[in-house]
Amino acid sequence: MLEAFVLATVLCGFFGALLKKNLVMKIISMDIMSTGVVAFYVLIASRNGLFTPIISDAQNIAYADPVPQAVILTAIVIGFSIQALMLVGVMKLARDNPTLETSEIEKSNTL
């Protein structure tokens, strides 16, 4: 059930990025899609019965792998920086164009 909600989040973000005409809405849709991908990765990586190697003092038990945590943290930071870069690009476009609709920007730049 949880997998279906995460997949729905990814699909909503994907179709929002494809179908929305406003550039800010496209950026928000891409952020929703990346959040869904991160949530899917966390959902797949989480398993019951694993212990944190720092806290647990038992000897022969299954430990959680710290690499997926590092990958997710890196993905979050990279996603945040890409989102900030896209917003700066939209701000520069907004300075020259009265609207942020993609069709209007294409019309004004093809003349």
Contact call for residues 93 and 100 (beta carbons, < 8 A): yes
Are 77 and 85 in contact by the 8 Å Cβ rule? The answer is no
**What does the pLDDT look like over 39-58, one tens digit per residue?**
998 888 777 777 776 755 66
pTM, 2 dp: 0.79
pLDDT at 57: 62
Q: Tell me the mean pLDDT in the region 16-42.
A: 93
pLDDT per residue as tens digits for the range 52-109: 767 556 677 777 777 888 889 999 999 999 999 999 999 998 888 888 888 888 888 7
Helix (H) or strand (E) holding 39: helix 23-45
CA distances from 56 to 19, 48, 49, 70 (A): 49, 15, 12, 20
Please, what are the domains in the chain? 2-110 (1.10.287.3510)
Q: Which two tokens stand for residue 2?
A: 């949880």
